[in-house]
Amino acid sequence: MHVTLHRPLIGSLLGALASIMVALAIPPVLQAQDVGQGRAVLVTGASSGIGLRMTEVLAQNGFHVYAGARSAEDLARLDGMENVQSVRLDVNVLEEIDDAVSFVEEQGRGLYGLINNAGVAVIGPLIEMTEEDMAFQMDVNVYGPYRVTKAFAPLLMESQGRVMTTGSISGILSGPFLGAYSMSKHAVEAFTDALAAEMARFGMAVGVVEPGNYNSEIGATLVERMRDGGYDPDSSMFPEEMRGYMERMTQYGEDPEPYDVAEAALDFLTSSTPKRRYMVVPTQRQAEVTIRKAIQELVELNQEHRFSYNRDELVEMVEEALTRLESGNE
């Protein structure tokens, strides 16, 4: 069936998807209550940004948090927090992952939750990016969650626990010069869906949080790495654009603190019906751009092939998805 899709379809789909976003809204956080009941959670990349705020909020709400970090200074600072034990953990180093598993096992608390938060960003035109930079991007953001989840899976299955990975709205969006980062976050979306289907057999819940732009050191760390490596934007085919991107990357510190993202992690770990996806953005514009991109992809998938659906059929599909969501079924 061949159809041409018009703007009224987009309006109907936006309306239905807006209802879905309302259903996905995160409830107010229960601050400083013992909802964690002493259960143990491991947070990777806990030294700053989203990981640090997750550690704070979970610890304040009764969880015992194993906070993964790399530097001695960060480890000591995390140890100074109530309900927090630091764990030396580089998600690229198998020996440190194995040592972290042994450490958690020795504590005797088991492990109820894992939050794969450690992440990095690499920017640049895809046709100019070195294979080393691409591998670094994937090694941390994709192989990191895979390695850590695999290592801690026996403890998590024993507790019928929960696994959340920090994705990004870049796991839905893609754009120039952020291709490698978006590729890694698209992979996190697939990792989440596949892992959720596999772990359901063991009574485990799996989710992903997709933050927008929040206060983070990821951009400043990226630019520092580029400069330390001798990167010169004038060597690019896109010199003006690369200078602009590098400048913007150093401005993430001006964005809001990611407490909303931490509250999403708290909801995931405590809700009787945890969500598969938590999109958390600080502005309406970021939400709109992300939802419109998802709709655009839906329309493109449906365009001009023998099994295309008409407008009413597409709207009915969205309504069915909304009904399943409201009833608690994936």
Q: 61 to each of 156, 191, 255, 258, how far by Cα in Å?
A: 20, 28, 25, 17
Give catalytic residues, as residue numbers: 181
Q: How far is Cα 125 from Cα 233, in angstroms, rounded to an integer?
A: 11
208 burial type by CB count under 10 A (0-12 exposed, 13-18 middle, 19+ buried): buried
Alpha-carbon distance values, 104 to 71, 75, 161, 251 (Å) = 19, 16, 15, 36
Query: Of 292, 290, 115, 275, which Cα lies nearest the Cα of 188?
Result: 115
Helix (H) or strand (E) holding 64: strand 64-69
Q: Which amino acid is at 147?
A: R
**Virtual CA dihedral for 24, 269, 164, 275, nearest 10 degrees?**
-20
Distance CA 189, CA 171 (A): 7
Query: Bridge-partner residues for 43, per DSSP?
Result: 67, 115
d(CA 229, CA 208): 32
CA dist., res. 152 & res. 149, Å (int)? 5
Contact 322, 23 (CB under 8 A): yes
Distance CA 125, CA 130 (A): 10
Classify 2 in phi/psi space as left (phi over 0), alpha (psi -120 to 50) or beta. beta
Residue 304 DSSP symbol: S
